[in-house]
Every structure is written in structure tokens, then in C-alpha cells.
Amino acid sequence: MSTEKSTQTRSLLQAIEKSFYNSIGDIVFGMEDGTVSIFGLVFDLGSSQQKNPFVQAAWMFISDLFAAFVPVVPFAFLPLESARLVSLVITALLLLLLGVGRGLVGHRNVVLTALETLGIATAAALAGFLIGKLVTR
């Protein structure tokens, strides 16, 4: 009986892992969109003060390029399986760093804000994953 449960558990974990790896691109790009928004908050791009729109647009462009480029770099240098893990770790670290920045700028608890940022990105990624699964059925 325990061997059967062990086999079922292993099979389920393999199915989850395969599903995760098949969706990693969607997860990374979903987190990238959140990263761009967070950059805007950290650098106060959404404030009501009069600022040069060209400077604001340039910073949004740079942050978008950075946020999209960094998670993709491992795929240029590593085998697919390794690149997926490295990309996920790099993206998580960047989100944590952005959370630290949010905490410092907002004079809030840095650890909680960093975890909040990562949690929101994770929730968005999971929601996208689940919606994608529902749509493809």
C-alpha cells in the first residue's frame, strides 16, 4: 500500500514539475510585467509632480528592457533545465530587491515589503498559470 502511495505521489510531483517547466516562460513574463510596475513605484514615476515626460518614458523603457532581459540571459548560456531554475532564482532575487527598495522609499518594514512584493508576483504567476490551464482545457 505504501509503495502504491509513493508511486502516486512521485507521479503527481513529476506532473507538477513538468507543468511548471512547460509554463516557466509565462511565469517569468508575468513577473516581468510586475517588475516594471514596481520600478515605476520605486522611482516615483507615478507621482503627481510635474516631471519631464521624456525622462519618465526613458526610465520606463530602461526598466522594461532590464526586467525583460535579465531573466532571459541564462537561456543564452545554460542548458534549458538549468536556465529555467537560474532564471526563476534571478527573477525572485530581483523582486526581493525591488521590495527592499519599496520599503526604503516608503519608510516601511523592508523585510515585509520585500516578501509582499515577491508574494504578489508569485500570486500573479499562479493566477496566470491556473487561468492558462482553464483556458486550454
User: Looking at the whole model, is its pTM more than 0.75?
Assistant: no
Q: What is the pLDDT of residues 66-104, one digit of tens each?
A: 878 888 899 999 998 899 999 999 989 988 988 888 888
Cα(31)–Cα(72) distance, rounded to whole angstroms?
12
Q: For 38-72, write each residue's pLDDT tens digit.
A: 555 555 555 556 667 777 777 777 877 887 888 88
Pairwise CA distance, residues 77 & 54, whole Å? 35
